[in-house]
Amino acid sequence: MAVPLALLHTFVIVARSGRMREAAASMALTPGAVSQRVRALEEMLDRRLFSRTQAGVTLTAAGRTLFASLDEPFRRIEATGGETPGARSHRVTVSTMSSFAASWLVPRLSSFSRRHSEIDVSLEIESRVVDLSREPVDLAIRHGNGDYPGLVVAWLMAPALIVVASPALLKSRAPIRAAADCLGFPLLHDSDRADWRLWLETQAVKVPRGLKGPSFSDDHLMVKAAVAGQGLALVRDLYADDELRAGRLVRAIDVQWPTSFAYYAVCTKEALQKPAVRRFRKWLIEEADAGSSQVRRSALSPTVTRVRRGRTALKHQLG
């Protein structure tokens, strides 16, 4: 079992100081975040490492054994001036999906670096939902309905599904004048092969029982396949934005289908107390707002609009 170094280093700092609050101050974290890390380590190792007292914490027998094996190695790292996993006051660890990272976030990160050169951003690409209260991740970008209990949630954007294709592919066949004409082209599918069927049905098209064509678990890969002329892609507009601007893709038909889900930036209240996390979150919201067209905003469903208004109220509440 691989134990995250951040959890081990947090344990060492707490063991040296004997107080959660002092350890938190030295690591630029909140006491709650330090306590959560210690608890996560204890659960991973399946043993108590500290005994809690009114004066602070003391090591258990298991804790003393672990501390004896870790203290010296971490001191050697610190003596050489190397960065330990606890030195994160100027680093933001962000968890997101590969499609969102490749198509939207990564191309814009240079803007954040120019504005905040003192802050390092560490991207972790995850298909799973990380546990922000237990894992050393500051902020996650999630795609869903915005219902994330116990977390601070900020609405970013609600992409719409659009039909795109390479110009060469469109020239090779009869023009697309209505949604039903898409059936005359190879279709590129999402992983569960549901989007095309649902989209066609919303356009009052009688859909054949079996829609052929390859499927992709990653929207970014589907966009690449569309650029290569392999078929029509029904993708979220933000994933195709760069290729559309460059002319490698074009809108095959001027019909879009707003999705009911949106992208959200989520984090714990403890993480939001870190200045670096607040600055990255603020930049993320501003960047998303700048990239959202008025047309896209007006096409949002009432549910998403209400969530976004709630986001604005939450921003004022947090200051």
DSSP class per residue in 260-318: S-EEEEEE-TTGGGSHHHHHHHHHHHHHHHHH--HHHHHT--HHHHHHHHHHHHHHHHH
By CB neighbour count within 10 A (0-12 exposed, 13-18 middle, 19+ buried), where does 231 fall?
buried
Q: Count the residues in the chain.
A: 319
Closest CA to 173 of 182, 160, 164, 163: 182
- May I ask the CATH class of domain 91-151+261-292+303-318? alpha beta
**Number of Cα atoms under 13 Å in the Cβ half of residue 132:** 24
What's residue 202's pLDDT?
Answer: 84
CB 15 within 8 A of CB 71: yes
Nearest partner of 139 among 279, 303, 36, 246, judged by Cα: 279
Which CATH topology does 160-258 take?
A: D-Maltodextrin-Binding Protein; domain 2 (3.40.190)
Count CB atoms within 10 A of the CB of residue 190: 18
Q: Would you give per-residue pLDDT tens digits along the chain (319 residues)?
A: 667 788 888 899 999 999 888 888 777 666 777 888 899 899 989 999 999 887 889 999 999 999 999 989 888 877 765 555 544 557 898 999 888 888 889 989 999 999 998 888 888 887 778 888 878 789 999 988 888 999 999 999 988 889 999 999 999 999 999 999 999 999 999 888 888 998 898 889 999 888 889 999 888 899 999 999 999 999 988 889 889 999 999 999 988 777 778 899 999 998 998 899 999 999 999 999 887 643 343 333 333 333 344 443 334 333 3
- Determine whether domain 5-79 maps to CATH 3.40.50.300: no
Q: Give the pLDDT confidence score for residue 51 in this predicted structure.
A: 92
In the chain, ranges of CATH 3.40.190.10 domains = 91-151+261-292+303-318, 160-258
User: CATH 1.10.10.10 region(s) of the chain?
Assistant: 5-79
Work out the burial of residue 271: count CB atoms within 10 Å of its CB; fewer than 13 is exposed, 13-18 middle, 19 or more buried. Answer: buried
Q: What is the pLDDT of residue 215?
A: 93
Cα separation, 101 vs 124, whole angstroms: 9
* 125, 96 contact by CB (below 8 A): yes
Under 8 Å CB-to-CB from 228, ≥6 apart: which residues? 166
pLDDT attached to residue 31: 77
Residue 293: predicted pLDDT: 45
Q: Is the pTM of this model over 0.85?
A: no
Residue 289: which of 267, 311, 273, 272 has the closest Cα? Answer: 311
d(CA 85, CA 101): 23
> For the chain, how many helices (H) and strands (E)?
13, 12
Half-sphere exposure of 196 (CA within 13 A, CB side): 29
Distance CA 130, CA 75 (A): 30
Separation between Cα atoms, residue 57 and residue 50, nearest integer Å: 6
